[in-house]
Structures are given as structure tokens and as C-alpha cells.
């Protein structure tokens, strides 16, 4: 590990323990907080006008994984079942398209659209990506009843009908400081300004559904490898949660964490000498083109967000209040 990587790891560790070790970053914190507050003030004084279908933003105020993507899938599918033609709009982080807005299909390369939009599209969700989310929303005028913005709480140029904040019960808001002293993009007080705050581990849980072979598509129970050693590969925001899930399924886990949105190479998966390699579905969409020799021992864990009864009712109410059916 390089010096820079060790320093970044130490800073991130302090995000979830004590801010004291990061106080040397106070000048950068002050600059970040100033810019953030000025941006919020400008858009509060001059709020954007709706230029497309109504938008519900599903996002967070902290960096790292919170279980947001499976929750967005649940909300998108639920809104469709309520009769709304729903499209997910995403920045497409990590993707590079020749032109925007870009409609994502199940065959779109994650290198073009980003890994999360590619995964959602393969799950049957309509997705459009654009680094300027408001431009994608305008493009969808008359083509959708409701837009779900994947992240974008801080994209104040985009008008929104409602905001859903997603956080993680185990991490909370860390040490409570904004970047880079802490993990927050905005102050904790921002949580109280959203329409609905859903906590992963309290209001909803992300549950394993099945293990699916990365090459053949064979589907087995999520605890299929209980009592066996596996190599766990994860390039997501909170890999520890994924590893803990596999442990809870009875696996002996050898952890192989990578940076969020990591671009995998075949060598990343050629590990374990025949030991099963288990990855997230988000990572699998970036490895689909690898040959059978690489993927023959690889499986991905399919997951689903399951809200509590109270959370499900709150989501339904917000959808009914925000969407507009065109028939």
C-alpha cells in the first residue's frame, strides 16, 4: 500500500471514530463547508423550476454505501405497480458516453453508463444517465409520470417534488463532520429537511435472495456454500457489509475489497485455486464479458431491499403525492 493509500485509509477510519485525528484538515473543511453553504443559499433564493416530470430524489448526505441502489429498485418497481411510468435518472458515475442524455439498455456497457445504471437496466428498470441530471429530466417531459433521481440531493439545479434520505444504521453519520474531516457532504441538519429518512438496518433491510453463477446463470440458495471457504470480492462503497452478509450465510470468507466503482480485470477474479469466488451483482455487470475460464468458479449474490410495514406505507404515500399519471 502506497503512502497516499495509507493516509486515505487513516482519514476514512477517523470518519467513523473520532474527528480528532483529522483536525489537521480543518482548512479544507472550512473551504468545503463555505462552498456547500453558498450553493444551498443561492438555490434557496432562486429555486429551479420544474422542466419535466416530477422528481423524487433518493440520496444521502454521506459518502460510502448505504443500500441506496437496492432501495431505488424497490421504489421503482413499487411505483410501476401503482400505475406510474417511472424512469430512474442517474449521473452515471464512472461511465463515459459520447453524448447525453443516454438511455440505458440491458446491453449498455457499464464503461459507458456506469455500473449501477447498467445493473438497474438489467433488472428491468428504465434508466437514463446524464452528468447534468436536470437535462435528462427535461428530455423525459411527456415520456414519464415520475422520475427517481439516483443520488442528487446536492444537485440543487434539479427541481424536485420530494427527497428521500438513505443512511446506514451501523455507520450513521460518522463523526458528524463534513468532508474531509468527516464523511458528510452536507451537515447533519440537512437530514431534517428531507421528506423521508430511511435507515438501512432499521426501516429496511437488504436481504440475500440467491446466488447466481456468473457464466451459466445457475441459481442456488444464498446459503449454498455454508460451511465452505469462499473468496469474497467487492468494489462497492461499504464492502464490509457484503462480507458480513456472507459470514451470516455460514461462509468462511477471505476478503478481497476494492475501491468503489473499481474496473475489474480477469486477474482480479483468478484467485483461490478453485475456491468459489462470490461478488456483488453491481460488480458482476462489469465482469460479464470475461470468458468462461475466468468465471467458472464465480457467483454473484442477488439481493433485495425489504422495507418495514411502516416504511412501505410511507413510500407509497410519497409516491402517490408526488407522481402524476398521464394514462
Q: What is the pLDDT of residues 214-227, one digit of tens each?
A: 999 999 999 999 99
pLDDT grade for 238, boundaries at 50, 70 and 90: confident
Distance from C-alpha of 280 to C-alpha of 261, rounded to nearest angstrom: 12
Beta-ladder partners of 299: 213, 278
Given this model, what pLDDT does residue 92 score? 94
Average pLDDT score over residue span 231-248: 94
Given this model, what pLDDT does residue 134 score? 94
pLDDT tens figures, 130-148: 999 999 999 999 999 999 9
Average pLDDT score over residue span 12-27: 96
CATH 3.40.50 fits 42-203+308-322, yes or no: yes
pLDDT tens figures, 178-206: 999 999 999 999 999 999 999 999 999 99
Q: Is pLDDT above 80 for 327?
A: no
Given this model, what pLDDT does residue 87 score? 98
Distance from C-alpha of 54 to C-alpha of 75, rounded to nearest angstrom: 15
Distance of CA 10 to the CA centre of its chain: 24
Q: Is pLDDT above 90 for 12?
A: yes
Given this model, what pLDDT does residue 33 score? 96
Q: Residue 47's CB: how many other CB atoms inside 10 A?
A: 10
HEC readout, the chain: CCHHHHHHHHHHHHHCCCHHHHHHHHHHHHHHHHHHHHHHHHHHHCCCCCCCCCEEEEECCECCCCCHHHHHHHHHHHHHHCCCCEEEEECCCCCCCCCCCEEECCCCCHHHHCHHHHHHHHCCCCEEECCCHHHHHHHCCCCCCEEEEECCCCCCCCCCCEEEEEEECCCCCCCCCECCCCCECCCHHHHHHCCEEEEECCCEEEEEEEEEECCCCCEECCCCCCCCEEEEEECCCCHHHHHHHHHHCCCEEEEEECCCCCCCCHHHHCCCCCCCEEEEHHHHCCCCCCCHHHHCCEEEEEEEEEECHHHHHHHHHHHHHHCCCCC
pLDDT grade for 234, boundaries at 50, 70 and 90: very high
Q: Is pLDDT above 90 for 270?
A: yes
pLDDT grade for 60, boundaries at 50, 70 and 90: very high
Amino acid at each position: 500500500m502506497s503512502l497516499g493509500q495509507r493516509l486515505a485509509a487513516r482519514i476514512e477510519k477517523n470518519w467513523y471514530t473520532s474527528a480528532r485525528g483529522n483536525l489537521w484538515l480543518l482548512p479544507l473543511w472550512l473551504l468545503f463547508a463555505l462552498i456547500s453553504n453558498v450553493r444551498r443559499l443561492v438555490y434557496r433564493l432562486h429555486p429551479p423550476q420544474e422542466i419535466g416530470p416530477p422528481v423524487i430524489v433518493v440520496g444521502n448526505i454521506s459518502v460510502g454505501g448505504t443500500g441506496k441502489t437496492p432501495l431505488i429498485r424497490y421504489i421503482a418497481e413499487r411505483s410501476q405497480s401503482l400505475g406510474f411510468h417511472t424512469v430512474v435518472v442517474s449521473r452515471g458515475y464512472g461511465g463515459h458516453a459520447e453524448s447525453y442524455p443516454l438511455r440505458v439498455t440491458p446491453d449498455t456497457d457499464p464503461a459507458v453508463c456506469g455500473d449501477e445504471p447498467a445493473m438497474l437496466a438489467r433488472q428491468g428498470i428504465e434508466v437514463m444517465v446524464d452528468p447534468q441530471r436536470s437535462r435528462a429530466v427535461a428530455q423525459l417531459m411527456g415520456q414519464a409520470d415520475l422520475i427517481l433521481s439516483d443520488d442528487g440531493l446536492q444537485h440543487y439545479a434539479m427541481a424536485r417534488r420530494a427527497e428521500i434520505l438513505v443512511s446506514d444504521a451501523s455507520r450513521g453519520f460518522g463523526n458528524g463532520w463534513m468532508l474531509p474531516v468527516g464523511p458528510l457532504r452536507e451537515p447533519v441538519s440537512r437530514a431534517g429537511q428531507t421528506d423521508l429518512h430511511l435507515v438501512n438496518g432499521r426501516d429496511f433491510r437488504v436481504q440475500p435472495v440467491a446466488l447466481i453463477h456468473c457464466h451459466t446463470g445457475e441459481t442456488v440458495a444464498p446459503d449454498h456454500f455454508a460451511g465452505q471457504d469462499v473468496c469474497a470480492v467487492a468494489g462497492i462503497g461499504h464492502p464490509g457489509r457484503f462480507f458480513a452478509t456472507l459470514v451470516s450465510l455460514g461462509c468462511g470468507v477471505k476478503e478481497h475489497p476494492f475501491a468503489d466503482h473499481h474496473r475489474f480485470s480477469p486477474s482480479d477474479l483468478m484467485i483461490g485455486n478453485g475456491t468459489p469466488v462470490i461478488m456483488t451483482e453491481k460488480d458482476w455487470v462489469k465482469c460479464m464479458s470475461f470468458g468462461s475460464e475466468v468465471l467458472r468458479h464465480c457467483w454473484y449474490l442477488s439481493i433485495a431491499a425489504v422495507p418495514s410495514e411502516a416504511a412501505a406505507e410511507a413510500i407509497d404515500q410519497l409516491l402517490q403525492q408526488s407522481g402524476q399519471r398521464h394514462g
